């Protein structure tokens, strides 16, 4: 979430970290994803996951928080139209610590709105064992620091 | 309990609507997406959105809750490998009522693990004006009916 001019395709940003607690996993899941393997440690033991795991949406929302907290210029961000190819590759469990790597894929100035542009980022989330737990491609809309006058 | 075999390609799903409040929007944003246009009415007025709006991850979370309450929770869910082509088409504002529809695109038993399979579905969420606010394709893993 820098200004458009600051974004360099190929540039890598390392962001982190956050440790998940059982309490936070259960609280998020009760509100948004009340499946037994996210809300009930006993039931989770008998599930395919063998224990309580975070909702994938909880992991994704936590990654968003890490990205926002790491932003140098929050004011430059104008939101996002969405993301592609989100994969939840490994479960996130209580006590796991995640970190995020954002790699800029490409950037494009807006044709219709001078002074803004978009960029795509590969967003990879790793746990404390350096296993990839989640991956997606995000699209961000941002302001130019110095809009070119028409 | 329902299983993989109870999904049919072409099957459509309607969900009871849900209304979102300003307090909910701000509470989620404080925890997970503290950008000014999700937290601060004044700052949001000057943003591209024109007013305070929900974090897209909050909208996705509310959609997930509708899915769990009405579909996933009634089936032998084994989690999700992922989602694709999620688009936040329009902002969700305080007081908006969200209507979700879904369609099953594909039901595929696993080749390597005979006890499960993957269901691919497409969802569209609209607001009370009939405007699309979110679209997404999702994959869900489900147990097959025990023999």
**pLDDT tens sequence for chain A (150 residues):** 589 999 999 999 999 999 999 999 999 999 999 999 999 999 999 998 999 999 999 999 999 999 999 986 666 888 999 999 999 999 999 999 999 999 999 999 999 998 999 999 999 999 999 999 999 999 999 999 887 654
Topology of the domain comprising B4-143: Thiol Ester Dehydrase; Chain A (3.10.129)
pLDDT of residue A2: 80
B48, B69, B82: residue with CB nearest A79? B48
Domain-embedded: residue A150: no
Domain-embedded: residue A79: yes
Give me the CATH number covering residue A136.
Answer: 3.10.129.10
Residue of A nearest to B62 (CA): A32
Domain-embedded: residue A148: no
pLDDT of residue A146: 83
Q: What distance in Å separates residue B32's CA from the closest CA in chain A? A: 5
Say if residue B47's pLDDT is above 90: no
Q: What distance in Å separates residue A11's CA from the closest CA in chain B? A: 23
Q: Give chain B's mean pLDDT.
A: 97
Domain-embedded: residue A95: yes
In a mutational test of the B interface, the residue from A65, A76, A92, A137 whose CB has the highest number of chain B CBs within 10 Å is A65
pLDDT of residue A74: 67
B35, B57, B65: residue with CB nearest A61? B57
Which region holds residue A20: left if phi is over 0, alpha if psi is between -120 and 50, else beta? beta
Q: Which of B47, B83, B126, B69 is nearest to A59 (CA)?
A: B83
Residue A36, phi then psi, degrees to nearest 5: -55, -35
Tokens of B40: 């601060």
Q: What distance in Å separates residue B67's CA from the closest CA in chain A? A: 9
Rg, Å, chain A Cα set: 18
Cβ within 8 Å, pair B64-A80 = no
> How many domains is chain A built from?
1
Q: Which of A139, A42, A38 is nearest to B65 (CA)?
A: A38
Parallel, antiparallel, or unpaired for β B82-88 and A82-88? antiparallel
- Is the minimum CB–CB distance between A103 and chain B shorter than 8 Å? no
**Complex prediction ipTM:** 0.96
Average pLDDT over residues B65-78: 97
pLDDT of residue B95: 98
Residue of B nearest to A87 (CA): B82
Q: What distance in Å separates residue A29's CA from the closest CA in chain B? A: 9
Contact at 8 Å (CB) between A35 and A46? no
pLDDT in tens, B104-139: 999 999 999 999 999 999 999 999 999 999 999 999
Contact at 8 Å (CB) between B92 and B129? no
Domain-embedded: residue A53: yes
- Tell me the residue range of the domain where A84 lies: 4-143
Using an 8 Å CB-CB cutoff, list chain B residues near A61. 28, 31-33, 55, 57-58, 61
| Residue whose pair of structure tokens reads 């594909």 in the numeric block | B106
B34, B64, B87: residue with CB nearest A32? B64
Say if residue B98's pLDDT is above 90: yes
DSSP assignment, residue B2? B
In a mutational test of the B interface, the residue from A25, A30, A32, A62 whose CB has the highest number of chain B CBs within 10 Å is A32
Domain ranges of chain B: 4-143
Cβ within 8 Å, pair B86-A84 = yes
């Amino acid at each position: 979430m820098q200004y458009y001019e600051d974004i360099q395709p190929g540039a890598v940003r390392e962001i982190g970290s956050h440790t998940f607690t059982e309490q936070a996993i259960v609280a998020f899941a009760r509100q948004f994803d009340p499946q037994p393997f996210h809300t009930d440690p006993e039931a989770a033991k008998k599930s395919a996951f063998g224990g309580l795991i975070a909702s994938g949406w909880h992991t994704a929302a936590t990654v968003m928080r890490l990205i926002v907290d790491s932003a140098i210029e929050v004011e430059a961000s104008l939101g996002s139209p969405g993301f592609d190819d989100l994969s939840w590759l490994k479960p996130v469990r209580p006590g796991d610590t995640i970190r995020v790597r954002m790699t800029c894929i490409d950037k494009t100035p807006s044709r219709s709105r001078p002074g803004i542009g978009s960029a795509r980022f590969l967003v990879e989330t790793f746990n404390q064992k350096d296993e990839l737990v989640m991956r997606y491609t995000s699209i961000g809309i941002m302001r130019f620091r110095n809009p070119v006058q028409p | 309990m329902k299983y993989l075999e109870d999904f049919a390609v072409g099957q459509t799903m309607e969900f009871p609507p849900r209304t979102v409040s300003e307090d909910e929007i701000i509470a989620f944003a404080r925890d997970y997406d503290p950008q000014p246009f999700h937290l601060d009415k004044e700052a949001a007025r000057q943003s591209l959105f024109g007013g305070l709006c929900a974090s897209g991850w909050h909208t996705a979370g509310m959609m997930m809750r509708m899915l769990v309450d009405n579909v996933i929770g009634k089936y032998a869910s084994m989690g999700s490998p992922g989602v694709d082509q999620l688009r936040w088409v329009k902002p969700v504002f305080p007081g908006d009522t969200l209507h979700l529809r879904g369609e099953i695109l594909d039901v595929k038993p696993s080749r390597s693990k005979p006890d499960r399979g993957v269901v691919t579905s497409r969802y569209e969420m609209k607001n009370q004006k009939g405007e699309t606010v979110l679209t997404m394709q999702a994959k869900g893993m489900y147990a097959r009916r025990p023999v």
